[in-house]
Amino acid sequence: MPEDRIKVGFIGCGGIARSVYTGIYAALPELAQVVAVADLVDDLAENRRQVLQDAYRATAYGARAEADRARAAEVRDAALRKAAAADSAAAYDIRKYGSHEELLRDDELDMVCVLTPPSIRALPIVAAAEAGKHVFSEGPFAKSVEEADSIVAAIKKAGVKFHSQVMDRYPRGMVVAHHAIQRGLLGELGSASVELNSYRGQAYYGPVDESGRGFLPKTWHGTWEGEGGGAVFHHGRYIIDPFLWVVGSRVKEVFAYSGSMFRTIEHESLTQAIVKFENGATGAIHASLVNHLSGSIPGLRGRITLLGSDAAIEIDQEYTLLDQAHSNLIVASQDNPEAAEAIQALQVELADYPEFITQEDQTRLFLESIVNDTEPLVPIEVPRHHVEVTRAIYQSAVEGGPVTLPLDKSSPFYSFEGKLSGGAATSPARFSSGHPFRAS
């Protein structure tokens, strides 16, 4: 096996490792090689070890077929290099471990891919950093600010690279908007708002129990311990995390309504929040898992609206049928055409950033940051801030008033102790029971 390939270990061999990451790493054999897997369930680890080898064989077969069809020498040579790398990976005896502690003692590893359920990601992330391994984590990477801070401290102390999975940060439209804000091309930012419009029926979580006040979880979805939060957290990160990166200013205050509207689950299915930023802008965060229009209106899945003194931007975030994230950027100005033209010119300047991006592209970008020793595009402080904003939203919904950030470490919402007081214990048509505005 070539020594310049990144040696990767999977921590967690369940659903997401099976449905997403096996295919991703099988497609990138020249950059990285999975050399070890770990899971508390031995059968899952053994199955992932075997399926990874089969996936590498399939990649080698496909690459050789591509080489046979190629007319250009450079295309044929590239395909043959990929086939050789995949053949080498397929022949490698992937090691199997029963815990992340055992896997992290493997000296060959350069990096780990943390694919556990959300509730137990912080422990292996911190341990991996302390072991000197780069870390790619499924998101959300932490369920509390306390966990997030422990991760940030471990990553920075170790000097390793870290990435929390949110591929929606990287399409060109999102990157252009980020640079437009950083360069002040919108003028003074007055308003910055984001909305997630998605749909998850009761069947996604599990049936309502006989009492009608609780539910029978199918997996960890819909539970506090398993998912850490719902619309604004686990699902909302796909658009709220990029939104916070684009705005580039920390949220300093939130006032929110949040609860299990129309669903009998433990956490929220709908959040409405008003926010203030340190740069003086105000805005809104709307996160819904109960929108029947989801998928029916272009751009409805995720939308960012930025209103400045000189120009405005709207980003309509969509997924294509090929599971690609795409940011449709709309730029306008009523009285400053130069500002709009300057923002439009950024799309040419930043043309190297792809218009569409996949999970595989996101992984490749992180692997290349390791190979080239460059900083990831989005710093770890962004997903950390998303966790803090979420927890402040929950605190506001429970207390019925505004909450200032940063959260005090003595607050139960800094840790995972603080939760919405509604959830499955209340009517599914209500917001959090502690909030003054709710259904009677």
Pull the structure tokens for residue 8: 């990767």
Smallest CA-to-CA distance from 261 within 211, 193, 200, 196 is with 200
Give the pLDDT confidence score for residue 298 in this predicted structure: 64
Strand arrangement, sheet containing 403-404: 356-357, 325-332, 312-319, 302-308, 189-197, 282-288, 270-277, 251-259, 403-404
Give the pLDDT confidence score for residue 300 in this predicted structure: 67
Query: For 380-398, what is the mean pLDDT?
Result: 97
- State yes or no: pLDDT of 229 exceeds 90: yes
CATH superfamily of 6-167: NAD(P)-binding Rossmann-like Domain (3.40.50.720)
**For the chain, what is the largest distance between any 2 Cα atoms, rounded to a whole number of angstroms?**
72
Query: For 236-265, what is the mean pLDDT?
Result: 96
- State yes or no: pLDDT of 429 exceeds 50: no
Which pLDDT band, with edges at 50, 70 and 90, does 318 fall under?
Answer: confident
CA distance 219 to 224: 12
Residues of CATH 3.40.50.720 domain(s) within the chain? 6-167
Residues of CATH 3.30.360.10 domain(s) within the chain? 168-425
Give the pLDDT confidence score for residue 433 in this predicted structure: 39
Q: What separation in angstroms does the CA of 347 have from each of 69, 177, 239, 327, 353?
A: 35, 9, 20, 12, 9
- State yes or no: pLDDT of 293 exceeds 60: yes
Q: What separation in angstroms does the CA of 251 have from each of 152, 238, 279, 303?
A: 19, 18, 9, 18
Give the pLDDT confidence score for residue 322 in this predicted structure: 74
Give the pLDDT confidence score for residue 377 in this predicted structure: 87
Model confidence pTM above 0.75: yes
DSSP 141-200: --SSHHHHHHHHHHHHHHT--EEE--GGG-SHHHHHHHHHHHTTTT-SEEEEEEEEE-B-
Q: Percent of the chain having pLDDT more than 70?
A: 94
Query: For 124-138, what is the mean pLDDT?
Result: 97
Domain 168-425: give its CATH code: 3.30.360.10
CA distance 273 to 90: 50
Which pLDDT band, with edges at 50, 70 and 90, does 416 fall under?
Answer: very high
Give the pLDDT confidence score for residue 294 in this predicted structure: 85
Give the pLDDT confidence score for residue 427 in this predicted structure: 36
What are the beta bridge partners of residue 287? Answer: 196, 271
Mean pLDDT of the chain, nearest integer: 92
Convert the pLDDT of each residue in 36-80 to its tens digit: 999 999 999 999 999 999 999 999 999 999 999 999 999 999 999
Give the pLDDT confidence score for residue 362 in this predicted structure: 94
- State yes or no: pLDDT of 299 exceeds 70: no
Q: Which residues contact 398 (CB under 8 A, 6 or more apart)?
A: 418, 419, 420, 421, 432, 434, 435
